[in-house]
Structures are given as structure tokens and as C-alpha cells.
Chains A and B, each alone.
Chain A
Amino acid sequence: MVTFTGLDWFWAAAFLLLMVGGAFLFYRLARRSESDFFLAGRGLPWWLPASSVFSTHTATDTPMWVTGVIYAHGLRGLWYTFFTAWTAIGSFVSARIFRRSLAYTQAEWQVMRFGGLGAELLRGWMAGWQVFMNMFILGWVGIAMGKVGYLVFGWPVWVGLVIPSAITAIYTLAAGYWGVVMGDFLQGIVAIFAIVLVTVVGLWAVGGPGEVSARLVDMGEAWRLDVFAFTGLFSGDFPAAWWLTMLVIAVIGGFGMGTSIDWYVEAQRIQSAKTVRDASYGLWAGGALTLVRNGFWAAVILAFFVLAPNITNVAEYELGWFRMGFELLPVGMVGVFMGAILAIHLSTISSHLNLGALYFTRDLYQRYLNPKASERTLVWMGRAATFVLLLGSFFYGLMMEEITAWLIFALWLMMAGIWLPNILQVVWWRFNAWGYLASWMANLGVSWLVVWIFPAFGVIPPLPDYGQFWLLMALGAAVFLPATLLTQPEKMDHLVHYYVQTRPLGWWGPVQREAERRGLIAPQTKPEQVGRRPLIRRTWTPEEAEGWSREDWMAIILSPVVYALIIIGVARLLLGQLDGALITLGAIGGAFLLYWVIDPKLRAVSVEYETKQARYLEELERSVRWDESALDAGAEG
């Protein structure tokens, strides 16, 4: 247990009041409409979604998990946390496409991308899954806070589960997504302050950055400073094959939608941005800040390892970051640290309360139960759904110690079995609703076979994680590819409408040609018609910027490289390594180059799209009320 002085209580209470009060102030904006309650009116500048991406990804259980992988693996454990890098390509591909769709949720996007009964079934399926998953994630994160409350104050676990979540629900109920995103901004500042503070104090407790590295060398643990300390190509507890698989899942996943469990949360942030450009930068900056955070955590956790190297109990060393904060900070600052823990907890809880309520309100209640509902009714339904999610999270949180194992199983399998279809739905025109639905259904059975049943009966040996991933992908493809090719493509009218609105990347040739034939988009200029162009073009007309060009591909390649340099550079810099400083400088230079290459194009795309957005929004609202003539009108121009 930690001793709290009056000053500590003051700081913890002051931070709580600031974060809750600051968020609550926006309740007047939230009650205006469904769009305000769930998307802050689609008018946010890039830095607000960015801070929300960071804050939401920094939950109470996150420092436990990051501590676990860094304590066990050293700096190579950073690659586990690199899953955030889906935002590297995602910011410039899937975010751009999804923002242009204007869909409130990933479920709603299904009926824009696909058509007919298959698309509708997908929407319902995904909405049900997301309502439930958000409730579970709330319980999962809530019980982590319960454990922190027990560690710090000796409170019963249910106190930490119920009280902070109930406080969060007050401003989430009142101020909706406005409260979530403004609270996230304040909470992000508090969290960053505490993360930097604990890293500085932790490193100096060992004797400074260079001393942590020197002590690791003395202990015969120098490999912990190596981010590429593989144990073999396929053998050991960190084979290169696993590293490569994680890299592919994260980086290539950025071409798709839903390839990471975080996609569903970030989709809401993408839609709340005021332009396509703001959506891209919001997602990119939020991801980058998350990787910087991981670098700071990695450095201080290695300091913790130096101080306490022989802990074998995972549950014990996972609390290393919390221990560093509570045991090393002076009187008064312990209260600030507790305020920061509350900050990271509140931001995640509020996001998932609002997101779960969004799926219920938009995709189940409004779509299927009351399509003619007024804006006022929808806001109140959003509040009611938020409250039900809160109660559900208490119920599941109390079960969670038993349930955690299956939740991790569920998250992993959802990522493995439908990873490829999540990309194909974005980049391949011929992929259809029945193929995508088949991939979800196939995964239901195949995942059990590969992970539990076949190994149990000796049909196949127990596979490492990377083996499971590739096998699940292959078996899934054996189902969803025939399902796609044996059923009809989506109707061309529907595809043309979607294509003209979102201008997706990938294999869309037949749809593009049909859109050109109908005069809905300008014919693509052939290279020989353009003549010489600069290596990097920085002047675009809005029409020219609509297509995908060399500049987009440069961003697609450069962005993951910058992300990798950030996470490696920051961690090694904080450990006093010279190459860390050089790598960090390379990351900063790369980020500026990325901006220089892609910004003119993003500006032009945003200008062009904003001239059409009001019409597309009107169509979207007619569509959710089953007035499908909206789509027909769009396809005909």
C-alpha cells in the first residue's frame, strides 16, 4: 500500500476535477444532434483527434502489458507494441477512404461498400459484435483499475472498477463525444507529464541513462538493449518469423479497415475530423505520440529491470511502472501520478462507452428499430445505451479474472482470421459482402480447430503464434475466395457510387472505367499525355489530386520507416546511446519530408471533397432511413 499525504490527495482531486469538469462543460454542444453526440459535429482540427487517439490507447492495463513485454524481452519487446503502426499507412490510405465515406461506424461503412442483403447482414453482425466487445473492453480496463486501487489503497477490487467508471459516465452521458474528446485532450497532457516524469525519476534512480545501459552490460544482459535480438529464424521465444509476422500485421494492415482492434475506435476519430487532411494528420500524430510513449516506457522499465532483475512472476513484474511511480516520486508528486493514472483510465472508459453506444444507436436502434427517430430521441437513446454499457461493464468486469484468457483469444483470432478480408474489402472491387461474411463465419469454426481441437487430438502440433496466423489466413482464404467468386459481384451502380465518393486505392479498374464512361469522374490521364513531371509534385488541382499518385506511394513507404525510427530512436536515446540520438534525428527529418511530400496533395483532396460533402451527408441520412434512392441518384450523377 502507498501512503497518501494531504498534498497527494489535493493533487489527485484537482486533476480529477479538471478532467471531469473540463469535459462536462461541452454538454450543451452534445445535445444538439446525433452527429454532435457521437462525432462532435464532424468539425475537429487534427490535434484533437490526435490527442484522443493517444489517450484512448493509453489505458490502465497498457503500462502493465508494455512492462510485461519489455521486462521479458528487453528492447526487442518494443515490436509487440508496434501494432500501433497500422496508423502509418492507415493515415494516408484507409483513413482517407473511410473519411470520405462519412459512415458513422465501420458497420455503416459495410452498406456503403457492399449492397443488398449481404451488406445489411454484415452491418447487423458487426454492430452486435461491437456493442458487446466495447462492454467487455470496459470490464477489462475497469478491472485493471480495480487492481491498481487494491495495490495503492488496499480497496476491494470492485471499488476501483465501479467508482472511476461511474465518474467517467457522468460526463460521457452529458457531453457525449464532445466530452470524450475534450477530456482526452486534458487527460493526454496529464498522462504525458506523468510518463516523462516517471521515466526521468526512474533513470536517475539507477544513476542516469548511461548507467542503465552499463549495468545491463555488467549483468550479462546487453542483449536487452538490442531491438533485433532474435532467438533464431523460427526457434526460441523471439524468432525472426514472429517479428516479421507482427510487422506485416501492423504495417500492411494499414491498407485495410478493421485489421487492428483499435481501428473501430479510431474510425470515430477519423470521422470527427473536419477535413480529410485533418483526419489523416490526427491519426498519424496520435500513432506517433503513442510510439514515443512506448519509447519512454521501455527506457524506464529497463531501469526497473536493473533495480529488480529476478522477478519471475509475470503478475508481479507487470506492475513495474506503477511501482517506479509510487515508490520513487516524492510526497505531493505521488498524488500527481495518481491523477495521471485516473487520466489514462478515464480516457479509455469514456471512449468505449461512447463508441459502444454509437453502434447501438446508429446501427441497431436507428437503422432497424426507429429509422424516423428525431435528433433529440437519438441523443437520448445514445445516453441510455451509454448507461446500459456502464452497467454491463460492471457485470463483466467482476467476471474478468476468469474471462481475460478468452478475451485475448477472441481479439487475436479476430485479427488473424479476418485480417486479409479486412484489406480486400478496401482494395479489391470484386470482393463482395458474401465473401466477407463467409470469412467471419469461417473464422468462427476454423479458429477453434487450429488453436484448440487439432492440437488436442494430435492432428497438428501446437503452433507458435505466427504459425497460427498464417494457417488461419490460408484456411480462411479457402472459404472466402470461393464464396466471393461463386456469388455475383456487387451491383455496378452501387460500386460506382462508392467509388466516386471515396476514390479507393487498389484494383478498381472496371468500376473506374464505368465511372468515367458515365462522366462522373474525369478520365485518368496517361503518363505519355502528361509529359515530364517533377519527381515530387507540389501543385495540384483538386481533380488531379483525387487519384493515387507517386506522392501517395512515397508517403506509404516513408511513414512506417519514420514510425520505426521513432520507437527505436526514443528508447535508445533515453538509454544514453549515441545511435539513439541519430535515429531520433532521422525520424524528425523523415517526418518533415513526409509532410513536405504529401501535404499539398492532402490539401487539394480536402478542398475538392468539401465541395461535395454536404450532398453526401444528406444522402447518408436518407440512406439510414431506408431511402435508397439516395444511392441511385449518386450513381447516376
Chain B
Amino acid sequence: MDRGLVTLIGMSIAYVASFAGLAFAYWGWKKHLRPDREEETP
């Protein structure tokens, strides 16, 4: 397989995992968000 394509696939999988973690974090934060914490967003 082409080296560039392999790199693209590999990096894509790694970032998919990271974005999944990020999505988990957003979901968790929304779930536990209290109204007084909204000011913390930029």
C-alpha cells in the first residue's frame, strides 16, 4: 500500500479516537452543567 495512504489512514484513526474522547467530554460536561457554570465558556 502507498506510504502516504497508510499514513493518512493511520492518522485518521488516531484523530477519530481523539475526537470520540472529545465528544464524550462535551456530553459529560453538558450532562453535569449547572447554570452558574455557563459563564466559563469563552
Contact (Cβ within 8 A) A129 B21:
yes
Contact (Cβ within 8 A) B3 A405:
yes
**From A133, which residue of chain B is reached at the shortest CB distance?**
B14
CB A437 to nearest CB in B, in angstroms, measures 9
CB B35 to nearest CB in A, in angstroms, measures 13
Complex Cα–Cα for A62 and B17 (A): 27
Residues of A within 8 A of B13 (CB): 132
**From A625, which residue of chain B is reached at the shortest CB distance?**
B32
Residues of B within 8 A of A364 (CB): 21, 24
Contact (Cβ within 8 A) B22 A116:
no
Complex Cα–Cα for A124 and B21 (A): 4
Contact (Cβ within 8 A) A132 B17:
yes
Contact (Cβ within 8 A) A124 B22:
yes
Residues of A within 8 A of B10 (CB): 403, 406-407, 410
Asked if A163 lies at the interface with its beta carbon under 8 angstroms from chain B, I say no
Complex Cα–Cα for A369 and B28 (A): 8
Per-position 1/0 for A133-145, Cβ under 8 A of B: 1001000000000
Residues of A within 8 A of B17 (CB): 128-129, 131-132
- Which interface class (under 10, 10 to 19, 20 to 34, 35 or more) fits B? 20 to 34
Complex Cα–Cα for A128 and B16 (A): 9
**From A110, which residue of chain B is reached at the shortest CB distance?**
B25
Contact (Cβ within 8 A) B19 A128:
yes
CB B36 to nearest CB in A, in angstroms, measures 10
CB A532 to nearest CB in B, in angstroms, measures 47
Contact (Cβ within 8 A) A132 B42:
no
Asked if A121 lies at the interface with its beta carbon under 8 angstroms from chain B, I say yes
Contact (Cβ within 8 A) B28 A368:
yes
Contact (Cβ within 8 A) B25 A120:
yes
CB B16 to nearest CB in A, in angstroms, measures 9
CB B25 to nearest CB in A, in angstroms, measures 3
Contact (Cβ within 8 A) A120 B21:
no
Asked if A45 lies at the interface with its beta carbon under 8 angstroms from chain B, I say no
Residues of B within 8 A of A124 (CB): 21-26, 28
Residues of B within 8 A of A491 (CB): 40
CB A297 to nearest CB in B, in angstroms, measures 29
Asked if A234 lies at the interface with its beta carbon under 8 angstroms from chain B, I say no
* Cβ contact of B25, chosen from A115, A125, A405, cutoff 8 A: A125
Point out which of A125, A136, A444 has the most chain B C-beta atoms below 10 A from its C-beta. Answer: A125
Asked if A409 lies at the interface with its beta carbon under 8 angstroms from chain B, I say yes
Chain A, range 391-444, C-beta contacts under 8 Å to B: 402-403, 405-407, 409-410, 434, 444
Complex Cα–Cα for A487 and B13 (A): 30
Point out which of B1, B28, B41 has the most chain A C-beta atoms below 10 A from its C-beta. Answer: B28
Contact (Cβ within 8 A) A123 B25:
yes
CB A589 to nearest CB in B, in angstroms, measures 45
Asked if A118 lies at the interface with its beta carbon under 8 angstroms from chain B, I say yes
Asked if A250 lies at the interface with its beta carbon under 8 angstroms from chain B, I say no
Asked if A541 lies at the interface with its beta carbon under 8 angstroms from chain B, I say no
Residues of B within 8 A of A368 (CB): 24-25, 27-28
* Cβ contact of B26, chosen from A116, A120, A131, A628, cutoff 8 A: A120
Quick one: given A116-B37, A124-B23, A626-B32, are A409 and B14 in contact (CB under 8 Å)?
no
Residues of B within 8 A of A595 (CB): none
* Cβ contact of A121, chosen from B8, B11, B22, B37, cutoff 8 A: B22
Residues of A within 8 A of B9 (CB): 406
* Cβ contact of B4, chosen from A123, A452, A628, cutoff 8 A: A452
Contact (Cβ within 8 A) A402 B6:
yes
Contact (Cβ within 8 A) B41 A132:
no
Residues of B within 8 A of A120 (CB): 25-26, 28-29
Complex Cα–Cα for A365 and B5 (A): 33
Complex Cα–Cα for A403 and B10 (A): 7
Contact (Cβ within 8 A) A410 B11:
yes
CB A493 to nearest CB in B, in angstroms, measures 11
**From A364, which residue of chain B is reached at the shortest CB distance?**
B24
Residues of A within 8 A of B19 (CB): 125, 128
Complex Cα–Cα for A491 and B25 (A): 20
* Cβ contact of A128, chosen from B1, B20, B29, cutoff 8 A: B20
Complex Cα–Cα for A402 and B13 (A): 14
* Cβ contact of A117, chosen from B8, B14, B23, B29, cutoff 8 A: B29
Complex Cα–Cα for A133 and B1 (A): 22
Complex Cα–Cα for A298 and B37 (A): 56
Contact (Cβ within 8 A) A409 B22:
no
**From B9, which residue of chain A is reached at the shortest CB distance?**
A406
Complex Cα–Cα for A122 and B28 (A): 13
Residues of B within 8 A of A126 (CB): 18, 21
Residues of A within 8 A of B11 (CB): 406, 409-410
Residues of B within 8 A of A116 (CB): 37, 40-41
CB A410 to nearest CB in B, in angstroms, measures 6
Contact (Cβ within 8 A) A128 B3:
no
Complex Cα–Cα for A410 and B40 (A): 32
CB B8 to nearest CB in A, in angstroms, measures 8
Some 11 contacts from A to B, beta carbons below 8 A apart, are A116-B40, A121-B22, A126-B18, A128-B19, A128-B22, A129-B18, A129-B21, A131-B17, A363-B21, A403-B10, A405-B6
Can you name 13 extra interface pairs (CB under 8 A) apart from A132-B14, A132-B17? A120-B25, A120-B29, A123-B25, A124-B24, A124-B25, A124-B26, A125-B25, A128-B24, A129-B21, A133-B14, A363-B21, A409-B11, A434-B42
List of 7 A-B pairs having minimum Cβ-Cβ separation, nearest first: A128-B21, A124-B25, A116-B40, A406-B10, A368-B28, A406-B7, A132-B17
Residues of A whose CB lies within 8 Å of any CB of B are 115-118, 120-129, 131-133, 136, 363-364, 367-369, 402-403, 405-407, 409-410, 434, 444, 452, 487-488, 491, 626, 628
